[in-house]
Chains A and B, each alone.
Chain A
Amino acid sequence: MTQVESQEWDVVVVGAGGAGLRAAIEARERGLRTAVICKSLFGKAHTVMAEGGIAASMGNANAGDNWQVHFRDTLRGGKFLNQWRMAELHAKEAPERVWELETWGALFDRTADGRISQRNFGGHEYPRLAHVGDRTGLELIRTLQQKVVSLQQEDFRETGDYESRIKVFQECTVTQLLKDGAGEDARIAGAFCYERESGRFFVLRAPSVVLATGGIGKSFKVTSNSWEYTGDGHALALLAGASLINMEFVQFHPTGMVWPPSVKGILVTESVRGDGGVLRNSEGRRFMFDYVPAVFKEQYAETEAEADGWYDDPESNRRPPELLPRDEVARAINSEVKAGRGSPHGGVFLDVSTRMPAEVIKRRLPSMHHQFMELADVDITAEPMEVGPTCHYVMGGVDVESDTAAAVGVPGLFAAGEVAGGMHGSNRLGGNSLSDLLVFGRRAGRYAAEHAERLSGAARPEVSEEAVERAAAEALRPFDGGADEGDEQPENPYTLHQELQKSMNDLVGIIRREEEMEQALERLAELRRRSARLGVEGHRQFNPGWHLALDLRNMLLVSECVARAAVNRTESRGGHTRDDHPQMDREWRRANLVCTLGETARQADPAAGRIALRRREMPPIRRDLLELFEKEELAKYLTDEELSG
């Protein structure tokens, strides 16, 4: 059984979404042999779900746009909790990353003068999102996929083998990162994987591993995320000794479908609002006017007339409140529904049918039209949609160095995209995700390649046999059905998963309370205890029950991080709203909550919790960046001491 096949690569990228593929392309273009490993088929990654666009201050729609404005919007959206250096790099490099896609064959929608068209989006001061209708994510993933194929074609011409320098291991899962030792300074040496199709184990040995696994949404019941989003990268990083930051910040997208039940949570793109869609409650009122918070009062319209004027004349009108950052809109919808002014299926109405002609709707929002027609039998050109908040994105993630995307504390480990933390602070702006994938995907690929180059030849870290055996034994455990746990019945992974989702949704959801979160932690402990007895039927070949059983470990770890960090942060900010601490607290602004795996001794006791949490001060924002803001605005976020210092 310990005879596990092993292959040698220079860089291993876990995940084949936007960040993973961008990292892989970068590493391969720097001449390193790169393996990409992903749970789905190549080209199916969750990135395809992104609809709105890629935020980049190219200034095609409004010449006033530049990286400074983008940076400012990003920090405002994240309530100044962002790793400012990441936000700076992101704003500066995003245009190059978008233009580069065109040289790989991407076809964005165009302006009249032939440049890339840019659209409005919540929280962005200028029209900034490069897009293709409402299927921008698909365009991104397909472009990157085709770029990978073109590199493979190059390699084929040179070596006669398409996969000699870049190979995609599709439908494979990584269950453990392997290091060359157990000590503090142990380095990454590879990854332990299995093929979902056959259940066969294999090891990819490499000095650099890039995590690009996306988010954690599948721990919540109502989510826009696909089954893949089980927090694998977050958990792998924790288990390898890295830390996670900002895990309390989970973005609930304000507009997910609420009906029919089987599609509850599926995303309704923000461009519906960007292009003129409005939110109404059951009384027909555009309720968002009632929810503009003080910090945003100056930027948003106060009357419907002014809001409606903005679409055509943004210079002399302020923007409609429907375009407030996502956290604000999600909370507003939540309040309306709680106040009994919701739609029949527990959401609110999002209406484009009375706002633009049917033809325009079909042209500008084709996939939304399609989605509602096919899945809900609703014609959005004739009637309003019913929408409500859905778990969409986790701002928190692996604690990385801003410039290199290197995971702090684990040499050879890198993280980019949703799995990395810090970039978006407490709340991500729409459109900043795709640009984040590209900017930091490339950086992670680059620095992973440099790290691997330094460790070539004899310097390569070696995987220990023992670690491989341990990983194999762990992966096979569910087939024993927790045999060593006495005569208790084995647990069904599907049942356990449902209970986990319900607990997280109900107790650590969009509005949080201390007692509820404490209760969630208790439930998580109970679930963790039961998960030791997870049992699955059948064999290793394409066995979804087994796959879920393995993913549950990751979901439980990550959920605990979210709950623990959320209890600890006694304020409301961005994607973290406390009923018992409704105010934003400037003291909390400079604090990150850092999760690590707890002491090994505690691991033995399932009830104790596996996560250790500590508070860490953020580095002060660089002076020239602070000067991009008005003093009065900064005063809302920063402490007096920070302002004077």
Chain B
Amino acid sequence: MTTATESESSTGYDAHFRVWRGDVEGGGLEDFTVRVHEGEVVLDIIHRLQATQAPDLAVRWNCKAGKCGSCSAEVNGRPRLLCMTRMSVFERDETITVTPLRAFPIVRDLVTDVSFNYTKAREVPAFVPPQELAPGEYRMQQEDVSRSQEFRKCIECFLCQDTCHVVRDHEENKGAFAGPRFLMRVAELDMHPLDAAEEEGLDRRTTAQDEHGLGYCNITKCCTEVCPEGIHITDNALIPLKERAADRKYDPVVWLGNKIRRRKG
């Protein structure tokens, strides 16, 4: 244990950490005792470990201000951003366990392969611009964009994807299920006031169920619980999307209306 040379060292204390180290071949929790100073977050401690005890400890991070969503990991078993987990929430004599995200393949130490999410992102058809409007001619009211704006606060930390039991506990569902983040993306586009997908023959509501696995979601709300941006993923995106899908598929009045309109059209 190297004692820190910083001037604040007098205010610090020694904390006990258990950090998962290893790769796909195997690994385990390693114990560390490390100096902690006032006002620090878990990521600071991981960095101190790198600088003083484990220079090759792999961790993904970037902005260190909760804006980029890189440093996702699990602290005491709960999916968190390392940079937004303050040390002051723990007891000083508590052992703090840090592991990588457990829903994704491991790369090394705290770094996982999150390519699942990028694959899913590609499967959601992009925004379809309205043909008749040129750039600069878009007119949208604030109340019409607010809903989608909430979802666009997403920093893509993928904590919701990590905590969602549909894929966390069932690897075999990864093919069929887009996960909360990308179902929310479908909702965002479906609520976009100018998205012209329907004119192009793309029904985002039915495809949410048929192609992105909306039915797998059993709205147990863990995605909302872990969201560091406080987005109401379940209440504002997933359930409304389920209701919109129900409009299309399970509402006989709407169904009949569509049939007639389509015949006319």
Residues B153 and A107 in contact, CB atoms below 8 Å apart: no
Contact at B37–A261, with CB atoms within 8 Å? yes
Binds A, one of B140-148, B161-169, B172-180, B208-216: B140-148
Chain A CB within 8 A of B63 CB: yes
A534 to chain B: closest CB distance in Å? 12
Q: How many residues of B contact A (CB 8 A)?
A: 62
Q: Give the residues in chain A near B154, CB-CB below 8 Å.
A: 142
User: Which B residues from 36 to 56 make CB contacts under 8 A with A?
Assistant: 37-41, 44, 50-51, 55-56
Verify A113–B65 contact, CB threshold 8 A.
no
Whether the pair B58, A544 counts as a contact (CB closer than 8 A) is yes
Whether A578 is near chain B, meaning CB under 8 Å from some CB there, is no
- Give which listed residue, A49, A99, A546, contacts B136 with CB less than 8 A: A99
- Write out the residue numbers on chain A whose beta carbons fall within 8 Å of the beta carbon of B189: 105
Asked whether A474 is an interface residue with its Cβ less than 8 Å from the other chain, the reply is: no
Q: Which residues of A contact B192 (CB under 8 A)?
A: 105, 107
Encoded as 1 (CB less than 8 Å from any B CB) or 0, chain A from 107 to 131 comes to 1011001110100000000000000
Q: Which of A11-46 contact B (CB under 8 A)?
A: 40-44, 46
B114 closest partner in A (C-beta):
A41
Q: Which of A295-310 contact B (CB under 8 A)?
A: none
- CB–CB B39/A261 < 8 A: yes
Interface size on A, residues (CB 8 A): 70
- In the assembled complex, the CB of A305 is this many whole angstroms from the nearest CB of chain B, namely 31
- Which chain A residue has the least Cβ–Cβ distance from B119? A162
Whether the Cβ atoms of A162 and B141 lie closer than 8 Å is: no
- Residues of A within 8 Å of B229, CB to CB, are 370
B60 at the interface (CB under 8 A from A): yes
Determine whether the beta carbon of A44 is less than 8 Å from that of B152: no
Q: Is the CB of A48 within 8 A of B108?
A: no
CB distance from A525 to the nearest CB of B (A): 24
- Out of A44, A58, A95, A96, which one reaches B69, CB within 8 Å? A44
* Contact of B67 with A115 in the complex, beta carbons under 8 Å: no
Pick from A109, A142, A492, A495: contact of B142, CB under 8 Å: A109
**A188 CB to nearest chain B CB (Å):** 28
**Contact between chains at B64 and A538 (CB < 8 Å):** no
Q: Is the CB of A102 within 8 A of B114?
A: no
Assess whether A629 is interfacial by the CB under 8 Å rule: no
At the interface with chain A, which of B26-34, B123-131, B237-245, B256-264?
B123-131
Give the Cβ gap from B212 to chain A, nearest Cβ, in Å. 14
Q: Is the CB of B66 within 8 A of A260?
A: no
In the bound complex, residues from chain B placing their C-beta under 8 Å from that of A542 are 58, 107-109, 111
Residues of chain A lying within 8 A (CB to CB) of residue B152: 107, 132, 138-139, 142
In angstroms, how far is the closest chain B Cβ from the Cβ of A599? 36
- CB atoms of B41 and A48 under 8 A apart: no
Q: Which residue of A lies closest to B115 (CB)?
A: A170
User: What residues of chain B lie closer than 8 Å to A376, measured between beta carbons?
Assistant: 39
Complex interface: chain A residues within 8 A of B121 (CB)? 149
Contact digits for B60-92, partner A, Cβ 8 Å, 1 yes 0 no? 111111111110000000000000101010000
State which of B44, B50, B127, B195 has its C-beta within 8 Å of the C-beta of A494: B50
- B222 CB within 8 Å of chain A: no
- With contacts A138-B67, A536-B56 taken as known, whether A153 is within 8 angstroms of B41 at the C-beta atoms is no
A48–B55 touching, CB < 8 Å? no
B236 to chain A, nearest CB (A): 15
- In the bound complex, what is the Cα–Cα distance between A58 and B136 (angstroms)? 9
A336 at the interface (CB under 8 A from B): no
Q: Which residues of B contact A371 (CB under 8 A)?
A: 65-66
Question: Nearest Cβ in chain B — how far from A230, in angstroms?
Answer: 13
Measured CB to CB, the nearest residue on chain B to A137 is B67
Assess whether A146 is interfacial by the CB under 8 Å rule: yes
Q: Which residue of B lies closest to A156 (CB)?
A: B122
B201 within 8 A of A: no
A42 to B67 Cα, complex, angstroms:
14
Q: Is the CB of A105 within 8 A of B138?
A: no
Contact B107 A536 (CB under 8 A): no
Q: Contact at B62–A227, with CB atoms within 8 Å?
A: yes
A261 B8 Cβ-Cβ under 8 A: yes
Q: Is the CB of B50 within 8 A of A544?
A: yes
In the complex the two chains form, what is the Cα distance from A153 to B230 in whole Å? Answer: 30
* A539 contacts B68, C-beta separation under 8 Å: no
Are B111 and A44 in contact, CB atoms less than 8 angstroms apart?
Answer: no
Q: Which chain A residues lie closer than 8 Å to B44 at the CB level? A: 262
Question: Closest approach, in angstroms, between the C-beta of A417 and any C-beta of chain B?
Answer: 17
A254-273 CB contacts (< 8 Å) to partner B: 259-263, 266-267
Q: Which has the most chain B C-beta neighbours within 10 Å: A104, A133, A541? A: A541
Given A110-B141, A146-B126, A538-B55, output 17 extra A-B contacts at Cβ < 8 Å.
Answer: A44-B62, A46-B62, A58-B136, A105-B189, A105-B195, A107-B145, A110-B140, A114-B141, A117-B142, A135-B153, A150-B127, A162-B122, A197-B108, A261-B38, A371-B65, A492-B55, A543-B58
A sample of 7 cross-chain residue pairs with beta-carbon separation below 8 angstroms, ordered by A number, consists of A95-B136, A103-B129, A135-B67, A135-B153, A149-B122, A261-B39, A536-B56
Instruction: Give me the interface of B with A, judged by CB distance under 8 Å.
Output: 8, 23, 37-41, 44, 50-51, 55-70, 84, 86, 88, 107-109, 111, 114, 118, 121-122, 125-127, 129, 133, 135-136, 138-142, 145, 148-149, 152-156, 189, 192, 195, 229-230
